[in-house]
Structure 1
């Protein structure tokens, strides 16, 4: 007899609306806190959005940051940010630091001559130091990237809204997009609160989170659409609970397997992709939460015209745009 792993019992009867105002209120609070965190604390923009030059410094010696800072201060470059980078995959003799240098007056980015001065100054205090990578972005380009990143998220959300509205009813589309906006804002707030580096890879993670979250939501909405003609007399609240319980095993299994893969990448993937993977891992959990406690709540608040559907006597699964190819 084959062994089958079940994270959720075959038949569940969880009342997802038992604490609907508490869970929905927690989501509203999370969104407000996230917006306040971004407004007050700001985001720790990476070189993509802030401009300047980032130099990755590696050495076999564990040199204190203050030694590097004294060497760069002597060059008169203004504020130079130096941070340690830790990673479980590093060798015992691999010590990595990141130097961030703001663009100098009159220049779009740090010039090659200045970079050479920085490298020479660090070599004097640590002959074993190496410079595996140098990234430079001018302030004009970084400003354009911020607007393009915002536009990418907005366009993706709009496209998803249009798709869900065509495939379902407008109430489903409103609930779905509200959940997506919730996921994006809370994830960005997470980065603001913990001051994690926010760069283009995080924007890519946000777009991926949108796709993951809407996929999970559409699965429940699709089952709900199938159940509407089957249970014409069942109250919408109870029908949504039934539908969510029917798809709960799939939701939990998808979230768990995705989280396991992302956790492995957080631990063993290295510091280069850690920001992207961390955003994805947080987004997987917040996306699952919004599917269960945000999207459905909004649809229930807006209501569905089930009487009209019954009069039209449509077949299970039919609706105004049922014949549109997905």
Structure 2
């Protein structure tokens, strides 16, 4: 008895994906509008990488709450403290991240102020909670955090532009429009999800978004390759039917790739620790939204850009 999953996946389906393009594109538009609204009104919970300051990771027992830790940090009068749970650590223990804002001062004076604040926070926590386990403290200055913001978002913009150029040369401009719209949709939807959940947005999240761009582009290229091949093969078949056929032809590959990737990412999210939780969450969402956009955004856009069969024969 064979247990191979591939035997149960569709290889020549007839699912009319393109027929539901208006519903799918409407949902995509809602994703984008809602994400931009969340970003404008709620904002993003930037991590210490982007806003600078002090962040301490601690592990405490169930008798210690977020409110207790926040009260202890605020009592130091070093600015409004942020405290968030970062998952269980086993044996009834919980990991917390305690953040303090940048302390005043420039140059060496500012560096000294950050170190003084770090020492004060660690001393207060150890004195108030004798059983607390201090896992480490990170200190980032204002100049570094500002540079990281510019660098991080520049990297995302450059990645999107280079993907546009790649698709333009790899296929034709009609394909590049669909691909870049799908990628932009994925990036905005991911940023919106982080704004909605208020999970920490840090450099690991930027790395995840860049990975999502690559994953989604790879998925889109597979579909586009099959569309171009079928446009050559079925010269008289309506474009909508060719798109449906191409998506169905690549559906088994899409399902296998997405499921195996998600298995690894969910495992990483559950047992990978605090440092990888934001990265894994972004990747899980990115795989889901990237698969959706490859099928329901990138392919249907070709109907609106009126891709020519003659251009697919080169």
How far apart are 1:4 and its partner, in Å?
Answer: 2.6
Select the structure of larger CA radius of gyration: 1
1:22-68 C-alpha deviation (Å, 9 max, x unpaired): 11111011101101110110000000111111011224573234443
Match of residue 47 from structure 2? 46
Q: Is the 8 A contact 1:52 1:101 kept in 2?
A: yes
Q: CA deviation at 1:120?
A: 1.6
Which one of the candidate residues 205, 209, 212 is aligned to 2:208? Answer: 205
RMSD: 1.8
1:297 and 1:194 map into 2 onto residues whose CA distance is 30
Partner Cα separation in structure 2 for residue 84 and residue 216 of structure 1: 35
Instruction: Output the CA distance in 1 between the equivalents of 2:47 and 2:56.
Output: 12
Rate the CA distance shift 1:61–1:17 in 2: closer, same or farther, 3 A: closer
Structure with higher helix content: 2
Cα distance change, pair 167–65 in 1 and its aligned pair in 2 (3 A): closer
Does the 8 Å CA contact 2:83/2:97 hold for their aligned counterparts? Answer: yes
CA contact (8 A) 2:55 2:139 kept: yes
User: 2:196 is matched with which residue: 189, 193, 197?
Assistant: 193
Residue in 1 that maps onto 2:226: 223
Shift of 1:285: 0.6
Once the two structures are TM-superposed, the CA of residue 261 in structure 1 deviates from its matched residue by: 1.2
Secondary structure (helix, strand or coil) at the match of 1:133 reads strand
Map 1:1-326 to 2 at 5 A. Answer: 2-6=2-6, 7-59=8-60, 62-87=63-88, 90-107=89-106, 108=110, 110-306=113-309, 308-309=310-311, 318-319=313-314
Q: CA deviation at 1:2?
A: 4.0
Q: 1:73 to 1:302 in 2, by over 3 A?
A: closer
User: Matched residue of 2:148: which SS?
Assistant: helix
Helix, strand or coil at the partner of 2:15: coil
Aligned-pair CA distance for 1:226: 1.3
| Alpha-carbon separation, structure 2, partners of 1:169 and 1:178 | 15
- For the residue of structure 2 that corresponds to 1:197, the secondary structure is coil
Structure 1 range deviating more: 4-13 or 173-182: 4-13
Name the SS for the 1:111 alignment partner.
helix
After superposition, give the CA deviation of every residue in 1:178-224 in whole Å (9 maximum; x if it has no partner): 10000000011000011111001000000000000000110111111
SS in 2 for 1:198: coil
The size of the alignment, in residue pairs, is 309
User: In the superposition, relative to structure 1, how do residues 256 and 71 fare at CA in structure 2: closer, same or farther (>3 Å)?
Assistant: closer
Contact 1:61 1:128 in 2 (8 A): no
User: For structure 1, which segment, 276-285 or 142-151, has the greater mean C-alpha deviation from structure 2 after superposition?
Assistant: 142-151
Q: TM-score, normalised by structure 1?
A: 0.89
Partner of 1:43: helix, strand, or coil? Answer: coil
- For structure 1, the residue ranges without an aligned partner over 5 or more in a row are 310-316, 320-326
TM-score, normalising length: structure 2: 0.93
Alpha-carbon contact 1:55-1:100 (below 8 Å) kept: yes
Per mean C-alpha deviation after superposition, the further-off stretch among 3-12 and 154-163 is: 3-12
- TM-aligned CA deviation for residue 74 of structure 1: 3.5
CA contact (8 A) 1:55 1:133 kept: yes
User: Shift of residue 124 of structure 1?
Assistant: 1.7
Structure 2, unpaired ranges of 5+: none
Query: Displacement of 1:318 after TM fit?
Result: 4.9
